[in-house]
Structure 1
Amino acid sequence: MKRQWMTIMAALLVLLAGCQGSDWTVSVKTTPFYKEGTASTFAVAIQKNGEPASGLEVTAIFEMANMDHGQIVAALKEGEPGLYEGQVQLPMEGEWDVLLQMKDGSEMTEKLVTLTVKRQDVAAMINGQAITAAEVKFYQTRRKIEISSAMEEIQQNERGPELTERLSYWERQLNATAEPRSALTHLIELHSMALLAEEKGYSVGQQAVDREMEKRKNQYSESKTAQTLIRQYGETAFWKQERHYVRLVLLAQNVWNDMVKQVKTEHPGMAETEVRFFAQKKYEELLVSQIDSLDIQLYLSGL
């Protein structure tokens, strides 16, 4: 009954707004998620008469569909023209009705949207895209594999004081993998540059991912430590995450390649080591600029 009443009221107000000659459209850009004790972003794009509607006062009233959990009210603020967003902490996953109240001067209209809110174990959000806790734990495992495999190779090929020194270094690196913040930092940087690559028009095809996956499977098969860690993680889950990771790496590689081309154009005849040095500097500057331009929210608790 409650849901029917919200629907009737929204329809009535939309009808009244239509009588005033304005055509309002709303599209959901970011759906909030459910994580206990955590607020998440809700964002909508609003148009009036086919143009982004700026300068509105927008309120979102959340109610659980077919359940009585009361109302949750969130004020939405305008960022880009016509794009309104705010934070909301929902008490559970499921289907939610959201009544959007939009005021433009003396004109008021309402729209009803329905969202499917999912439980997510989120570590961070970048422009509405989630980096999950599972992804962070995967990368921690991946780093363990890389470091353990390096240590395995060193033990096979080196002896004496140099062996002890190098193993000590890698053991410190191995211990650092237990800290999720460093893994999350790396993933934020990788996701950020992958997004930039897509903004530049780059894409990664299935065949390119397949080729890189085959290389990595062959590489891991040569290390007993890697095979053990993959089995412990769960082979199916590991390779699924690795595929996602490979796609991001290949996307970001396009941005790196652009930096190398730019340095070579600016400094023809420069030695390859110098090219890489200056390309790395440009890449890092671009990374900082890209991260500053993104909406990044962190949810580290529980990792």
Structure 2
Amino acid sequence: MKNMCKERLFTTLLILIVCSFLAGCQINAASNPSEEKKSDTGNEDVSMEKLTNEDKVVTINGMVYTYADLKFFELMSKVEIELNRLQGQQSLTGKELEDKLKYWDEQIKYHDNYNVNLSKLIEQNSMYLLAEEKGLKVDEQVLQKKIDDFTQKVDQAELAKKLIEASSSDQYNTQLNTYFKQRVLTEEIYNILKEDVKKENPDAAEQEISYLTDKKYEELYMSQMESLNLTIETP
């Protein structure tokens, strides 16, 4: 999914999350996937000093997600940033590498933010529910390859390994399969939309295909969020 689409949706959901904290109420609509550009709206500090792993952070259609779940999403985001850092260090040089290193440092700090991680948790779990509603199934071979590729990359990235080692190994191993299952299905939804766009616009350039797919994904995600019973807990 392209960055612009993700950023629009991400910003919208962050606004709704912050509003729900201020109002102390339930919300039934929100949105956004997540590449990582800074959003001032989502940088409201949330005190996490008194939170425990068992504390509820959000309920989606009756399914309760805890602070431990949110921390796992934070971990996965930071691990992927470190994998990107390693790849960049191997392929970039000079000013381009220097700028990217600063960017990755900023992204690590950005994902210390409670609201950022909460919005990612909501997005992935919500789209997974949509995939289930549509009858989409995970190809177990595709899923296992995704996990194996990720694990191999982590083994070669010292900073990523340190992040995982500092977390609860039991929790990490338990949640990894579910995380990638949700991710594979979310990507499948996007790819289905992209194929539809190609059929509807056979002469369109790749850039236009991406733009139209992003737009369809955003509309679908908005519709999905409006259909969910979603309660965000005030920390």
Q: Give the alignment's TM-score, normalised by structure 2.
A: 0.71
Aligned CA distance change for structure 1 residues 206 and 165 (closer, same or farther; 3 Å)? closer
How many Å separate the matches in 2 of 1:159 and 1:187?
Answer: 34
SS across alignment from 1:124:
strand
Residue in structure 2 matched with residue 4 of structure 1 by the alignment: none
**CA deviation vs aligned residue, 1:223-282 (integer Å, no higher than 9, x gap):** 111111111113332122121111111222222122112101110132333212211111
Residue in structure 2 matched with residue 279 of structure 1 by the alignment: 213
Does residue 242 (structure 1) correspond to residue 176 (structure 2)? The answer is yes
How many Å separate the matches in 2 of 1:203 and 1:157?
Answer: 36
How many Å separate the matches in 2 of 1:154 and 1:207?
Answer: 29
Does residue 262 (structure 1) correspond to residue 206 (structure 2)? The answer is no
Residue in structure 2 matched with residue 182 of structure 1 by the alignment: 116
SS across alignment from 2:166:
helix
Residue 156 of structure 1, CA deviation: 4.3
Q: Partner letter of residue 157 of structure 2?
A: S
Question: Which stretches in structure 2 are left out of the alignment for 5+ residues?
Answer: 1-23, 27-52
How many Å separate the matches in 2 of 1:152 and 1:228?
Answer: 14
Does residue 297 (structure 1) correspond to residue 231 (structure 2)? The answer is yes
Does residue 197 (structure 1) correspond to residue 158 (structure 2)? The answer is no
How many Å separate the matches in 2 of 1:213 and 1:298?
Answer: 30
Does residue 170 (structure 1) correspond to residue 170 (structure 2)? The answer is no
After TM superposition, list the pairs within 5 Å mapping 1:1-303 onto structure 2.
120-301=54-235
SS across alignment from 1:233:
coil
Give the stretch that moved more between structures: 164-173 or 241-250: 164-173
Q: Give the alignment's TM-score, normalised by structure 1.
A: 0.56
Identify which of structures 1 and 2 has the higher relative contact order when contacts are C-alpha pairs closer than 8 Å and 6+ apart.
Answer: 2
**CA deviation vs aligned residue, 1:282-301 (integer Å, no higher than 9, x gap):** 10111011101111001141
How many Å separate the matches in 1 of 2:133 and 2:77?
Answer: 28
Q: Partner letter of residue 85 of structure 2?
A: M
Q: Partner letter of residue 146 of structure 1?
A: E
How many Å separate the matches in 2 of 1:121 and 1:166?
Answer: 36
Question: Which stretches in structure 1 are left out of the alignment for 5+ residues?
Answer: 1-37, 41-118
How many Å separate the matches in 2 of 1:194 and 1:297?
Answer: 17
How many Å separate the matches in 2 of 1:39 and 1:173?
Answer: 30
Residue 188 of structure 1, CA deviation: 0.8
Q: Percent identity?
A: 32
CA contact (8 A) 2:83 2:153 kept: no
Aligned CA distance change for structure 1 residues 300 and 218 (closer, same or farther; 3 Å)? farther
How many Å separate the matches in 1 of 2:105 and 2:158?
Answer: 18
Give the stretch that moved more between structures: 152-161 or 221-230: 152-161
How many Å separate the matches in 2 of 1:209 and 1:126?
Answer: 24
Aligned CA distance change for structure 1 residues 196 and 172 (closer, same or farther; 3 Å)? same
How many Å separate the matches in 1 of 2:90 and 2:145?
Answer: 29
Aligned CA distance change for structure 1 residues 173 and 203 (closer, same or farther; 3 Å)? same
**CA deviation vs aligned residue, 1:77-130 (integer Å, no higher than 9, x gap):** xxxxxxxxxxxxxxxxxxxxxxxxxxxxxxxxxxxxxxxxxx952211111112
Aligned CA distance change for structure 1 residues 215 and 172 (closer, same or farther; 3 Å)? same
Structure whose CA Rg is larger:
1
Residue in structure 2 matched with residue 108 of structure 1 by the alignment: none
